[in-house]
Amino acid sequence: MGLQIFLDGKFVSEEEAKISVFDHGLLYGDGVFEGIRIYNRRVFMLDEHLERLYGGAKVIRLEIPLSPEELKEKVCETVRVNGLDDGYVRLVVTRGKGDLGLSPMKCSNPSVFIIASTIKIYPDEVYREGLKVFTVSTRRNNPDSLSPQIKSLNYLNHVLAHLEVLHAGADEGLMLNDQGYVTECVVDNFFIVEDGVVKTPPTNAGALAGITRKAVFMLAPTEGIEIKEENLSLVECYVSDECFLTGTAAEIAPITHIDERAIGDGRPGPITKKLMEAFHEFRESYGTPID
């Protein structure tokens, strides 16, 4: 049996999972989504993901037709139906079917769909040897025009940046804001280590308040590691002792080169490794059981 997709109140096959061409999620990128991991038959940090989803929906005045508790159960049910012990969930809420006009008022029924499958962004050797990152010319959207805290369906800013990464032959891209400060990677949050202190750009610089980023803020103090938000220039990144990124799909991955400059000794650093180990333990037990 193929994938079973939860779509507007029922489960349908992958082939039957269709939305209208008049859905404003398709026409205008009008909607919100979350990418969520499954570990050891637990949905990792599901409450935190749902809090962000409903927060983003509130900002864009999108009424999700399920309560948080109902949606939580539907996520778990989708995982159960697809028989997954470990994997990835994509939870999407669109504005729904309207017409060719921009107005969201024409969309009376938001659409909810949930996909539970598997995902692997990087090969295993990346976590041993590190990533090569390239600074892209595409700037991160200005937070005053579009808040990065809204995880919306319009990802064109990221797509353009990723095209640059592919052209450069790099593993990931580093994005700057209009002031020239580092914001985040194309699809992940970004951290450096300097004199034993972990630093990451603040969300008001243009970084998403990532869920795995939040986990690092939870774990660092328990490991005796100081962590703080701080505006970062590229120069500070080049001369840092260590770098790493975090993301739902990538988890915690070391960065060993930025713009062909070795970070530290060009190998994953001790604090990065320590946080990776702590995260691996944390992810197995922290989450919502699917049974």
**Tokens, residue 176:** 């700057």
* pLDDT for residue 116 is more than 70: yes
Looking up tokens 């915690």 gives 252
Query: In 10 A of CB 13, how many CB atoms?
Result: 11
pLDDT in tens, 3-30: 999 999 999 999 999 999 999 999 999 9
How does DSSP classify residue 97?
A: B
CA distance 54 to 138: 29
Which amino acid is residue 290, in one-letter code? I
Q: How is the chain split among helix, strand and coil, in percent rounded to 5? A: 30, 30, 40
3-state secondary structure of 20: coil
Active-site residues: which are they? 151
* pLDDT for residue 114 is more than 90: yes
Residue 1 has a pLDDT of 67
Contacts of 123 (CB under 8 A, 6+ apart): none
Cite the residue boundaries of each domain of the chain with CATH code 3.20.10.10: 124-285
Q: Where are the alpha helices (DSSP H) in the chain?
A: 24-28, 46-59, 68-81, 124-129, 156-168, 211-222, 234-238, 270-285
Residue 2 has a pLDDT of 87
Q: Comparing 287 with 233, which gets the higher pLDDT?
A: 233
3-state secondary structure of 178: coil
Cite the residue boundaries of each domain of the chain with CATH code 3.30.470.10: 4-117
How much of the chain exceeds pLDDT 70, in percent?
A: 100
Q: Comparing 271 with 121, which gets the higher pLDDT?
A: 271
Q: Which fold has domain 124-285?
A: D-amino Acid Aminotransferase; Chain A, domain 2 (3.20.10)
* pLDDT for residue 279 is more than 70: yes
Residue 121 has a pLDDT of 85
Confidence tier at 285 by pLDDT (50, 70, 90): confident
Signed CA dihedral, 70, 76, 79, 82: sign only: negative
User: Cα–Cα–Cα angle for 89, 209, 94, nearest 5°?
Assistant: 45
Which amino acid is residue 66, in one-letter code? L
Among candidate residues 183, 216, 190, the one with its CA nearest the CA of residue 131: 190
Residue 119 has a pLDDT of 87
CA distance 11 to 117: 14
As assigned by CATH, the class of the 4-117 domain is alpha beta
Q: Which helix (H) or strand (E) holds 106?
A: none
Q: Which helix (H) or strand (E) holds 172?
A: strand 172-176
* pLDDT for residue 217 is more than 80: yes
**Tokens, residue 258:** 């930025």
117 burial level (CB within 10 Å; 0-12, 13-18, 19+): middle
Residue 186 has a pLDDT of 97
